[in-house]
Structures are given as C-alpha cells and as structure tokens.
Amino acid sequence: MDHTRWLDDDEQRTWRAFLTAQRLLFERVERQLQNEAKMPHGYYEILVRLSEAPDRTLRMSRLADTSLSSRSRLSHAVARLEEAGWVERTACETDRRGAWARLTDEGFAALRAAAPGHVETVRSVLFDALSPEQAAALQDISESLVGHLTNRPVWPAESDAGADGACPEAG
Amino acid sequence: MDHTRWLDDDEQRTWRAFLTAQRLLFERVERQLQNEAKMPHGYYEILVRLSEAPDRTLRMSRLADTSLSSRSRLSHAVARLEEAGWVERTACETDRRGAWARLTDEGFAALRAAAPGHVETVRSVLFDALSPEQAAALQDISESLVGHLTNRPVWPAESDAGADGACPEAG
DNA sequence: CCTCTATCGTTGAACACTCAATCTCGATGG
DNA sequence: CCATCGAGATTGAGTGTTCAACGATAGAGG
C-alpha cells in the first residue's frame, strides 16, 4: 500500500523551480564571495553577526544560533577565521566552559571590503529579477517558512535590526 | 565615494528571511535523506534524472546539466554511485571522449525506496507551510529567478515532465 | 593532412561540513 | 559535599564540493 502524499504536477513544478532557483542563486553568491573576498558565504555571515553585536563580541553558542551554524561548524569556522586574524577567541570568566568570539579590526575591515560586492551580487541575482510585488511575496513566504520550521512565532525574536546588506555598522 | 546600491531595511529583511528559510529547509531535506536513504540530496537528484531518461541512460555532460552539477562534481558523485552499484558507466562508441551513465536496477530500487520519505519531507517542510496562493507565488518567483539566472526564456526547455516527487516512473 | 581550438570527462589537492565522541564545567538535588 | 545531568565548546574521521590542471578526442580551417 502506498500512503505517500505524492506531489501533483503543479507542486512538482514548484519544487523543482524552487530547487533550481535556489541553487543557481546561491552558487553565484558563493562564487562571488569566494573570488573577491576569499571567504565562503557562511564565514561572511559569521562576520556580519559579530559586527552587529555589542563590542563586536558574542558567545560561541549565541553566534552559532544567530549565524545558523551547528556548534561544530562554528568551531571549525572560527578556528579558520582566527588563523586569518579576523576573529579572536577569549575565555569567558563568568562561565568557564564558555568562550567569546570577537571581530578584530582586520576582520571588520575585511567585512567592509567584502560588503559592496556581496550586496551588489544579492541585488543583481535576486531583487533585480523580481517585481516589488514578487519581492514582497517572497518575504511573506520566507517568513512563513521560517515560522513553520522553527516552531516559533515568526522570527528569531532576539535583537535583529542588523545589517547584512546595509553597510556594516554604517554611519 | 560609495556607489553601492545597498539594501534598504525591507530588502534586507527579505534577504535574511529567504536565507534563513532556505537553510532550514534544505538542512531538513538533506538530513532526512542522509538518515533514511544514506545519500545526499545531490545524489538523489542524479538518480531521479537518470530514472527519467530513456533507457535510464544519459551522457555525463547531459546529466551534469540536468542535475545542476558541475562536471567535476558529477564525476566524483558517479564514481561513488558506481561503487554503491547504483549507476554504471560505459564508454560511448560514437564519441570516444564521452561516457554513458546508466541507472542500474539496484539504483532504481534504491530510488524507489528513498522517494516516499523524501517526498513526505518536501511536503511537510514546504507545502504544508504555505497557502495555495503562497505556493503559486513561490512558483512564479522561482521561475522568474531561474529565467533571470540562466538567460533563458523560463525553463531548461528540454524534456521535463519528470518525476521527482511523483513516484519515480510511477504507473 | 595538419594544426588549432573546443568539448568531454577525470583527477588530486584544498577546503568545508557532518556526525559522534569527548572534555570541561555549571546547576540541581539529595 | 557529592553525584548526576546537561550545556558549552572542541576534535578527528569521513565525506562531498570546488578549483585548476590534465589527457583524450572531435571539429573547423587552412
């Protein structure tokens, strides 16, 4: 017996288009950042989150959450970023299991240098292709999905006015 | 001077929501396939494309295109799939640079076994979260993006009635 | 027939991510 | 005070991806 709720033709078309769009889009974003800024997109996100934090400093676990990384991934990533001199790790005094990650001035400079090219790419691959109505719909859809996939109201809740796309800590 | 077309708050919100949704969604899809079918999503797609091809056979280059893989990635992937006994490679007589990839019966069986769980996951992470209107909008948006990102009318053109979501070669 | 260029496909090294195991330390409860 | 449990973070092995380089063959032009 087959209880599977298979996709109908229309759903399948939607799924495949979404899949294709998503791949092509992020492939471009990834390649641009790798070529011009020498970092994968995941690392860029980490730098962005740090740049938005008070003192550009965050606990590793918090940073993992806000940058959508597993702890393991973040550990490996921050190790790399530390080698590059873009991030520093220091022990946490009040909770000695913990560690702080801080964006260095070099890291901030690297982010600043990377931002324009990245943002231009995001605009060119995403917003330049969509009408205002489509962009609005995409926001709506994405937020629905995030809500659905996190069992949370709608958005990571916490402080999040941040800038990824806006000039990092601009002004 | 700063010529960068920075994202405004609304665009940023859209971009971040899209990013987050995309990550959460594909993380789940990936994990489900890895856990239950012992293959990454990329391999699943390769098997699907082969399953839809005449004689379940495709030239490597064609397979690379339809499965959105780089040549290199496909080579590595097919090497793995061959070890698993799911795909076979044979030389091409008419073009001796070329190679055919064929889905074996074991490969087809593996795909058949993997499909229900995968499709159920796709439904639960995507379609269950969206209203019909949202799903329609997502299709529209995705096709716009694909068109934009490929400089092609709207869709890979070629034969593409296929089944990924539908029971593979069902009925 | 010969050369030049482009395509087909593979390879190995470098790198990022996942998973499971591990270590340290805080918190809780007797 | 001690035991237990759970959280914070790291590690190493395994795997997949990218990139650049390569070898082989087809096709075009002289």
Which residue bears the tokens 């605009």? A123
Q: What is the pLDDT of residues A84-132, one digit of tens each?
A: 999 999 999 999 999 999 999 999 999 999 999 999 999 999 999 999 9
CB B55: neighbour CB atoms within 10 A? Answer: 9
Q: Which of A95, A102, A91 is nearest to A47 (CA)?
A: A102
Please enumerate in sequence order all residues whose Cβ is within 8 A of that of A7, keeping only pairs 6 or more positions apart, or say none: A15, B119, B122, B123, B127, B165, B166
What letter represents residue A170's amino acid?
A
Structure letter (DSSP) for residue A171: -
Q: Tell me the per-residue pLDDT of B26-49, one tens digit each, with 9 for 90 and over.
A: 999 999 999 999 999 999 999 999
3-class SS at A12?
helix
Nucleotides of C under 7 A from a protein CB: 7-12, 15-21, 24-26
Cβ contacts, strand C, under 7 angstroms: A 39-40, 42-43, 69-70, 72-73, 76-77, 80, 95-97; B 27, 31, 34-35, 59-62, 64, 71-72, 74-76, 78-79, 89, 92, 95, 97-99
Specify the pLDDT at position A3: 85
Whether residue B9 and residue A166 make contact (CB cut-off 8 A), yes or no, is yes
Q: Nearest chain A Cα to B167, which residue?
A: A6
- Quote the pLDDT of residue A135: 98
Q: What is the pLDDT of residue A152?
A: 56
The confidence score (pLDDT) of residue B2 equals 75
Residue partners of B82: CB distance under 8 A and separation at least 6? B88, B89
In whole angstroms, what separates CA B130 from the centre of its chain?
21
Residue B161 has pLDDT above 60, yes or no: no
Shortest CA gap B93–chain A (Å):
32
pLDDT tens across A4-35, in order? Answer: 899 999 999 999 999 999 999 999 999 999 99
Domains of chain B by start residue, with CATH: 19-150 (1.10.10.10)
Q: Specify the higher pLDDT residue, B156 or B59.
A: B59
Mean pLDDT of chain B: 90
Q: Can you tell me the mean pLDDT for B133-161?
A: 76
Q: Contacts of residue B139 in chain A, CB cutoff 8 Å? A: 10, 13-14, 17-18
pLDDT for the residue numbered B3:
85
- Give one DSSP letter per residue of B96-159, joined into a string: TT-EEEEE-HHHHHHHHHHHHHHHHHHHHHTGGGS-HHHHHHHHHHHHHHHHHHHTSSSS--SS
pLDDT exceeds 50 at position B163: no
Q: Give the full edge-to-edge strand order of the sheet including B87-91.
A: B57-59, B99-103, B87-91
pLDDT tens digits, residue range B82-122?
A: 999 999 999 999 999 999 999 999 999 999 999 999 999 99
pLDDT exceeds cutoff 50 at A154: no
The percentage of residues in chain B with a pLDDT greater than 90, rounded to a whole number, is: 85
At residue A161, does pLDDT exceed 80?
no
Nearest in space to A12 (alpha carbons), one of B142, B80, B19, B103: B142
What is residue A63's predicted lDDT score, i.e. its pLDDT?
A: 98
